[in-house]
Structure 1
Amino acid sequence: MKIVVFGATGMVGQGALREALLDPAVDSVVTVGRSAMAVSDPKQRHVVHADFGDLSPIASQVADADACFYCMGLTSAGLTEAEYTPVTHDYALEAARVVGGTYVYVSGEGANAESSTMWARVKGRTENELLALDRRVFVVRPGFIQPLHGITSRTRIYRYLYRWSSWLFPVLRKAAPKFVTTTENLGRAMVALAKGATPAVKVLRSDEINRLA
């Protein structure tokens, strides 16, 4: 099985990459990024590509994939909708156009195309357009994600928040299971979808992610 991962250096992408490399059913993982990435596993190959709005130049390297994990994202803080949309929406649709296999889009709890909140509206619109495609597509909507195995967020404020709130995780897991997962469970659930798991829903919240993991 061949899996393509976009956003493998982010917190969610690191988790997805880790679990894909650990799974014996996965033979090859292709990560795509704008800059070089340290590769330490023989199953991983990294492709450097600058323009995520046009993946045609690398299509021959990813079109035959069995699954695509779109984990690219950025904080909406301080951004306009026009600035936030390319990574969240445009590049996600371009990846779906070019990469083959099961497509898994990492969204977020609260995504809604009708929302008055900008990030939620853009992610919700992206979800709707992806799910309307004539292919096998799933959306994962994690809420609070506990990073494990040394994984960290690239965003400074998120790193601070995760360190500060880590002690709350056991409480949140019991009090609000629909909103809490880990990088390990999220990665495992995504790999399960790539391997053909068929959950009852196409949009998976944290509790469904954990069950699938």
Structure 2
Amino acid sequence: MGQTGRDGGRQEGRRRTAMKVILFGASGMVGQGVLRECLRDPDVTEVLAVARSPLAAAHPKLRQVFHDDFTDFTAVAGQLAGADACFYCLGVSAAGHSSQDYTRITYDCTLAAARTVAAGNPGLTFTYVSGEGTDSTEQGRSGWARVKGRTENALLAMDMHAYMFRPGWVQPLHGERSRTGWYRVLYGAGSWLYPLLRRLAPRHVTTTQALGRAMLAVTRLDGEEPYVLHSPDINRLGA
């Protein structure tokens, strides 16, 4: 596996300072929450959001890089150099997408981004938002789970500190909203369920706030385990 940097001089939980973060998917529900936590964290000095169009957010720490082809980041590779962490929150539902399109967005775009940022940033921490039910064996019956598993496996094999986030139900906080219409309806209708889910199935629920804080927390693990984080790990690190 590509988890480098397990030298004896590093300690789990060490505080990182003056951290530059690259963020993909900042306009999505999860990405909005991650962006909020990055901008609030005193250790983060700069957030570079890679997007196709301008974000509504504005902040002294926030810089935006606009790029259209998410399968090839060669044109902006120089702007992505010098980062300490990359938080990849970009993704789509398999519903409504062909197998080919879902694979291109989920696997090809993710790996293109990871290869570019890893090449220009030695010791980079890369976090990928996957999902509960992802199939690491790549042999299961669910097509989306196999593609997610293939993506995770490829990232874990790269020469960087890679962490896979597999949340179940993610409750948006602080005004975060999905860009997908039927997701907004789902979260709006189900928001009253979250307190109940948190009591009855705490191992399967988390929040956008906890996700953002947990992503920042794994940058301080310096490549140590756990490499695959489920909702209980996310909630523990994001508390």
TM-score under structure 2 normalisation?
A: 0.86
- Which ranges in structure 1 are unaligned for 5 or more consecutive residues? none
Aligned to 2:47, the other structure's residue is in SS state strand
- Structure number with the bigger relative contact order (C-alpha 8 A, sep ≥ 6) is 2
Q: What is the aligned partner in structure 2 of residue 152 from structure 1?
A: 177
- Is residue 133 of structure 2 the alignment partner of residue 110 of structure 1? yes
Q: What is the aligned partner in structure 2 of residue 15 from structure 1?
A: 33
* Greater Cα shift, 180-189 or 156-165: 156-165
| Letter of the structure 1 residue corresponding to residue 166 of structure 2 | R
| Letter of the structure 2 residue corresponding to residue 86 of structure 1 | R
Aligned counterpart for 1:188 among listed residues 213, 222, 231: 213
Preserved contact between residue 39 and residue 46 of structure 1 (Cα < 8 Å): no
| Letter of the structure 2 residue corresponding to residue 160 of structure 1 | V
- Is residue 226 of structure 2 the alignment partner of residue 177 of structure 1? no
Preserved contact between residue 67 and residue 103 of structure 1 (Cα < 8 Å): yes
Q: Aligned pair in 2 of structure 1 residues 136, 197: CA closer, same or farther (>3 Å)?
A: closer
- Is residue 78 of structure 2 the alignment partner of residue 60 of structure 1? yes
Aligned to 2:163, the other structure's residue is in SS state strand
Preserved contact between residue 51 and residue 65 of structure 2 (Cα < 8 Å): yes
Q: Calculate percent identity across the aligned residue pairs.
A: 54
Superposed CA deviations along residues 72-110 of structure 1, whole A, max 9, x for unmatched, are: 111111222101011211111111111131000000000
| Letter of the structure 2 residue corresponding to residue 131 of structure 1 | L
Extract structure 1 runs of 4+ deviating beyond 4 A. none
- Greater C-alpha Rg: 2
Aligned to 1:150, the other structure's residue is in SS state coil
Taking only aligned residues, the RMSD between alpha carbons, in angstroms, comes to 1.3
TM-score under structure 1 normalisation?
A: 0.96
